[in-house]
Amino acid sequence: MTTIKIKPPEIFNYEECLWFLDRGFDDCLHQINKNTITKALKIQNNLFLVSIRYEGTLLSIQILQGNPSAKEGELIKSYISQWFDLYTDLEKFYKIANKDPVLKPLIKKYWGLRLIGIEDLFEALCWAIIGQQINLSFAYKTKRALVENYGRTIEHNGTSHYLFPTPDTLSNCSVEALKKLQFSRNKAQYLISLAKDFRDGIISKDQLMALDSKENMLTRLTNLKGVGAWTANYAMMKCLKIPTAFPIQDVGLHNALKQQLGLKEKPTLESIQQLAKNWKNWEGYATLYLWRSLV
């Protein structure tokens, strides 16, 4: 069996990353057993099942199914590294966070937490759309229904491991079929329309990564039906890894700030913009650590 080792940067806490993957919600796209993460991946159109553990000072990736070539092994390594956002220099974030009264206690408490990404842009946007304006438990429930109905699976030791449905598959769904999975008519239409846009190459991660500014990305993303400022920033944060992506309208962010600052009401957008001046160039990580503070 193939095993791949990854040496994480100095600022890294596996337990904190694990927390984000296992924070009480029922995510169907990975499984956690004690300290081991199991996840199905598609690399260059081949499916692999991997398990991830932290041993000593290394991330240890075992390939449970699939037989990766040398190149595919490298791609898996790269995928996992990006999934855990290991390439970001958190030292810089901690330096500015240390001067900020809101973030200072959080970076101490949650030291080593990294942004667990959603590497596939289609999946990231679908997930953001699914989660709009509903509670997270219900969002995970409907995501599971979607994935179990339309995603590919890898069977291993009697357990099914799912991949997120492809644009091709979802573009052939009917609104009525998705409504049966408890999506609203609007969301069903957004998801199908998004799937068609990806299928037809109107949008892709590569296209966006080739753009030179966050503003251009935002425009391209918000031109998609169902994608507003919050969804676009969420996707830029979780998938495109833009450090300045900032879902400032996020309810969770508002609640976290209210709690951290001891406010009676949720902060206004203007007051958040004021606070965020201290977070310049690290708005995404500031948001992540504030989300983390919500118990």
Q: Closest CB to DNA among 45 and 133?
A: 133
Q: Closest CB to DNA among 111 and 138?
A: 138
Site for DNA contains 244 (CB under 7 A): no
Asked about 100 being catalytic, the answer comes back as no
Rounded Cα–Cα distance for residues 90 and 104 (Å) = 14
Does residue 40 contact residue 162 with C-beta atoms inside 8 Å? yes
> Helix (H, G, I), strand (E, B), or coil: what is residue 275?
helix
Site for DNA contains 231 (CB under 7 A): yes
Site for DNA contains 229 (CB under 7 A): yes
CA distance to 1, 17, 120, 191, per residue, from 224 (Å): 43, 31, 17, 10
Rounded Cα–Cα distance for residues 41 and 59 (Å) = 17
Residues 168-227 that bind DNA (CB under 7 A): 179, 182, 184-188, 222, 224-227
What are 83's two structure tokens? Answer: 């999934």
Measuring CA to CA, which residue among 144, 164, 131 is closest to residue 247? Answer: 131
CA distance to 96, 128, 130, 184, per residue, from 133 (Å): 32, 10, 9, 11
Site for DNA contains 137 (CB under 7 A): yes
CB of 254 to DNA, least distance (A): 7
Which of 202, 209, 251, 261 binds DNA (CB under 7 A)? It is 251
Residues 40-99 that bind DNA (CB under 7 A): none
Rounded Cα–Cα distance for residues 138 and 167 (Å) = 23
Site for DNA contains 243 (CB under 7 A): no
Partners of residue 33 on adjacent β-strands: 36
Q: Closest CB to DNA among 53 and 258?
A: 258
Site for DNA contains 149 (CB under 7 A): no
Q: Closest CB to DNA among 106 and 154?
A: 106
With 0-12 CB in 10 A as exposed, 13-18 as middle and 19+ as buried, what is 7?
exposed
Interaction pattern, residues 117-136, with DNA; x per rule: CB under 7 A: --------------xxxxxx
Instruction: Note the residues at the interface with DNA (CB under 7 A).
Output: 131-139, 141, 179, 182, 184-188, 222, 224-232, 234, 238, 247, 249-252, 254-255, 266, 291
Which residues participate in catalysis according to the annotation? Answer: 250
